Every structure is written in C-alpha cells, then in structure tokens.
Amino acid sequence: MGQMEVIGIRQQIADRLRADIVAGALAPNQKVTEEALAQRFGVSRGPIRDVLLELSKEGLLVTRANRDTRVNDVAAPEVQTMLVKLRLDIETYALQRVAQNPSGEFLQRLGEALHDLSMQLRAGNFAEVAKADIAFHRLIVHEAGGDDLVNLWQPIIMRMRMNYRRLASPDQAIVEHEQIVAAIGAGNGAAAVTALKTNVR
C-alpha cells in the first residue's frame, strides 16, 4: 500500500470518527480503543493510532497518560453559546464573500453537496448527516478563504454537538440549506446569512 493510499484511508477514518462524535453516535466519555477501531475499519492499529492522536489535538478525544482514550465531554452551555457565535461570525463572513460573484463550478459543487445532505437526512443516519452537513458548510468556508479560513472554522464546529433531533422532519433541514444555496445563487449575501442563522442554533 502506497503512502498516499495510507494517508487517504487515515483521512477517511478521521472524517468518519469526527462525524460520529459531532452527531453523538459516539457519546461523551465513551471509551475508544485502537483494537476495536482497527477491527471496525479493517486496518492495522498504526493508522488508528495516528487518527486518535489527531482527534485528541482537535479536542474531540481525551487521552490520559497510561490510561484510556475517551470522547471529550460536551462543552459547557456558556462555551457552546460562544462556539455558535464564533461559527456564525466565520460563516457570515464566508457567505457574504461567496455571494458576491459565485462561479458556476462552485454552485454546481454546492448543489451536489446539498443533494448528498438531503439524501442522508431522509435516510435518518445522523452520523452520515453530520458528515454531509460539515462537508456542505466547509465548501462555503473554503471557497471564501481557502485552507486558512477552514483551519479557523473546523476546530469550532468539531467542538459543537449538532442537535439534528431538533428537526420536526428532514424536510426542515433540507429547506434551510436550500435557502442558503438559493441566496448565494441570487447573489444575496444578506438572505444567505438569514438562512444560516435559522440553520445554526
């Protein structure tokens, strides 16, 4: 197996575990082990060890010296409120930028991300929903500011816990994201931000 293939597999595992944690499929304080994860993903323990270290640096996992690794606690309510505000600040900036002159190629990729998110919402798999939702918003943030802006945004969103169960139906979340896409396509940054504030809470 080549180095690039190993890196790709490691990234896929990291993305899956991030989505599981953000969606609550892996609960706060739940123990995670190299052995169990290696078996789950069908890989050796080496890539798993790298992933656990990466997620620990991001604050999603907590590893105690000579002890086990567990999912980090949910942020305290006042910290969660701060995280939501920081996320909204970054994504508001991103939406205002991308709505100024969105390219056809970007709108196509955003439409594809919306389609994937819609399918996962209707399937009701919250871990897959989290992964697709993060990908949708990451696309906007990256289009606005590249890796630099994503690197500011990602640790914030990863410490949040997405309350997808607040939704009365999958259609509610789909409409919220459709409104964001439509506003960007119309070049209306203010409307996109209004739709974002309905979606992120």
Instruction: Please write down the HEC assignment for all residues of 26-47.
Output: CCCCCEECHHHHHHHHCCCHHH
What secondary structure letter does DSSP report for 164?
G
What secondary structure letter does DSSP report for 134?
H
Q: Give the mean pLDDT of 113-122.
A: 94
Is the same domain home to 46 and 110? no
Which residue matches tokens 């309510």?
77
Q: Is the pLDDT of residue 162 over 70?
A: no
Give the integer Cα–Cα distance in Å for 198 and 201: 7
How many folded domains does the chain comprise?
2
Give the integer Cα–Cα distance in Å for 109 and 112: 5
pLDDT averaged over every residue in the chain: 89
Is the same domain home to 189 and 107? yes
User: CATH number, domain at 32?
Assistant: 1.10.10.10
Instruction: Dump pLDDT digits (tens) for 51-109.
Output: 999 999 888 899 877 779 999 988 888 988 999 999 999 999 999 999 999 999 999 99
Is the same domain home to 62 and 100? no
- Confidence at residue 74, expressed as pLDDT on a 0 to 100 scale: 82
Q: Residue 191's CB: how many other CB atoms inside 10 A?
A: 17
CA angle in degrees (0–180, nearest 5) for 192-198-199: 85
Is the same domain home to 128 and 189? yes
Is the same domain home to 91 and 46? no
Closest CA to 141 of 65, 88, 194: 88
Is the same domain home to 45 and 107? no
DSSP string, 53-104: HHHHHTTSEEE-TTS-EEEPPPPPHHHHHHHHHHHHHHHHHHHHHHTTS--H
Model pTM? Answer: 0.81
- Confidence at residue 23, expressed as pLDDT on a 0 to 100 scale: 80
Q: Give the mean pLDDT of 128-147.
A: 93
Give me the count of residues in the chain. Answer: 201
Give the integer Cα–Cα distance in Å for 144 and 197: 18
Residue 63: give the domain boundaries: 3-71
Q: Give the mean pLDDT of 108-127.
A: 92
Q: Quick one: CA dihedral 22, 24, 28, 34, positive or negative?
A: negative
Looking only at the bridges linking them, the beta strands covering 31-32 and 69-71 are: antiparallel
Between 3-17, 51-65, 153-167, the lowest mean confidence (pLDDT) is in: 153-167
- Strands lying side by side in the sheet with 69-71: 31-32, 69-71, 61-63
Single-letter residue type at 198:
T
Which residue matches tokens 């997405």?
162
Specify the higher pLDDT residue, 196 or 124.
196
Is the same domain home to 91 and 63? no
